[in-house]
A = this chain, B = another copy of it.
Amino acid sequence: MRPHSRRNGIPRTTPTDAEPPRTSLDTKLAPSQDRARATFELILETTGKLLAEVGVDNLSTNMICERAGLTPPAIYRYFPNKYAILHELGRRLMAAEDEVVFEWLERDAVPLDSDFEAAVASRAAMLANVRKVVRAQPGGAWILRALHAVPMLHDVRTASVTAVARRIFKALRKDHPDVDTRRLKVATMLTTWLGAAANEIVLDNPRLERQLTREVARMFTLYYRDLVENGAERT
């Protein structure tokens, strides 16, 4: 079943038709009236809540409609299929997470060669802020899990990690120009990925939240400090 851009649907992809019959994940219509925008948001919000209640496996379009007080065609007006809803939810959550890191980089990040404990604390606070964003979104943690679960949505996560890692790379490169480029790139990718993983672990284990966050921040800071101090020599 390929996406049909019949009627006045905006065709988002050039119709090469050489591609495999992938189900599109893009939204269909941009709602133009206020009522429609409210419906669009209602669908997303309801999906987030239901995700937390029943999990991604048992989530169905019919269920979303019933809960939102809509009928099925209302969903299909804006989303080509149920994965597109998850895609939009994931995209927004990732964007919000990324924004936290970007702000941290610009404002609060403590240089690695200054006070060690201050650098750890700053990083820990940033990680906590990322979690705050996830928790603010209804069903936030379950959206993250859905991104793991659905292969079609892997790219959303990857794109986010790549974008964040690149920004961190640029920031560190500026302060430490003689660190081996390859290693610095790998290092920023690694900590970004593991930072995301760590946050999911913490969300699953809120009892250890403080200690885990502190230790993760310490681990990453130790690692980066070693890299910028000794990373120039190695190839």
Q: Which residues of A does B touch, CB under 8 Å?
A: 55-57, 145, 148-151, 154, 182-183, 186-187, 189-190, 193-194, 197-198, 201, 204, 208, 211-212, 215-216, 218-220, 222-223, 226
List 9 other contacts, CB 8 Å, given A56-B149, A186-B212.
Answer: A148-B149, A182-B211, A183-B211, A193-B197, A194-B201, A219-B219, A219-B220, A219-B223, A222-B222
Contact at A57–B216, with CB atoms within 8 Å? no
Partner of A187, one of B55, B56, B193, B215: B215
- CB<8 Å pairs between A and B, sample of 18: A55-B150, A57-B150, A145-B149, A145-B151, A149-B149, A182-B211, A183-B211, A183-B215, A187-B215, A190-B212, A193-B201, A194-B201, A197-B198, A197-B201, A219-B222, A219-B223, A222-B223, A222-B226
> How far, in whole Å, are A33 and B154 apart by their CA atoms in the complex?
43
Partner of A148, one of B57, B148, B182: B148
Nearest-CB distance from A78 to chain B (Å)? 22
Nearest-CB distance from A141 to chain B (Å)? 11
Q: Hey, which chain B residues are within 8 Å of A212, CB to CB?
A: 186, 189-190
> How far, in whole Å, are A199 and B140 apart by their CA atoms in the complex?
24
6 nearest CB pairs, A to B: A149-B149, A197-B197, A148-B148, A219-B223, A186-B211, A55-B151
Q: Hey, which chain B residues are within 8 Å of A208, CB to CB?
A: 186, 189
Nearest-CB distance from A180 to chain B (Å)? 11
Nearest-CB distance from A151 to chain B (Å)? 5
Q: Hey, which chain B residues are within 8 Å of A149, CB to CB?
A: 56-57, 145, 148-150
Nearest-CB distance from A173 to chain B (Å)? 17
Contact at A186–B198, with CB atoms within 8 Å? no
> How far, in whole Å, are A102 and B186 apart by their CA atoms in the complex?
28
Nearest-CB distance from A9 to chain B (Å)? 25
> How far, in whole Å, are A212 and B197 apart by their CA atoms in the complex?
15
Nearest-CB distance from A147 to chain B (Å)? 10
Q: Which residue of B lies closest to A225 (CB)?
A: B222
Nearest-CB distance from A203 to chain B (Å)? 12
Q: Which residue of B lies closest to A161 (CB)?
A: B201
> How far, in whole Å, are A194 and B57 apart by their CA atoms in the complex?
26
Nearest-CB distance from A214 to chain B (Å)? 9
